[in-house]
Structure 1
Amino acid sequence: MNFFQRKEQQIQALTGKGFVRLALSSLLLSGSAMATSAQAQTLCVFDLSGASGDYFAFMKDYALAAQKWSVMIDLKAYNKEEKAISK
């Protein structure tokens, strides 16, 4: 009998079989839902130089780092404040 089987028997003795199965299935379903819910988010970036500016370059690095967290970010550059506000 391995470690997990012993722990499952201990949990079953404390709470009952139905609860353990429900808890495990809920945990598995919630984990799979989080893994598939990664959608690209649009982030508006205001930089006076537009897409070639320093702040936009910093935000590109941030978007690249966010991919490690399974977050996809689409950057949209604006060099005029009026356009950024109206979107």
Structure 2
Amino acid sequence: MRTFWSVVLPLCRPALAVIAVFGFTMIWDQHLLPPIVATEPGQYTLPIALRTPRSDEEVGSGMLLAGALLALLPSVVAFLAMRRQFMRGLTAGAIMG
């Protein structure tokens, strides 16, 4: 177990970071399950609500862009949290010696 914690896990951190970010993004941007589970449009998740066509006069393009920015923020935060692991994985193969 000590070998796993001190050797294997540090070598796998970049790959685990990629899996974590991709898994989070896949779940966050899911478009199939929420429309099936939600019984009314008020219960939709943010990405689904942005995809739904709007005919309201008060919901303009600025409001849709603000919603898109809010929908993008969790994925960006997840990437920025794992940024160091990504860079470590990219540079690990470039160093000789």
Does the pair score TM above 0.5?
no
**Which of the two has greater strand per residue?**
1
Q: Give the number of the structure whose residues are more often helix, by fraction.
A: 2
TM-score normalised to structure 1 length: 0.27
Taking structure 2 as the reference length, the TM-score comes to 0.25
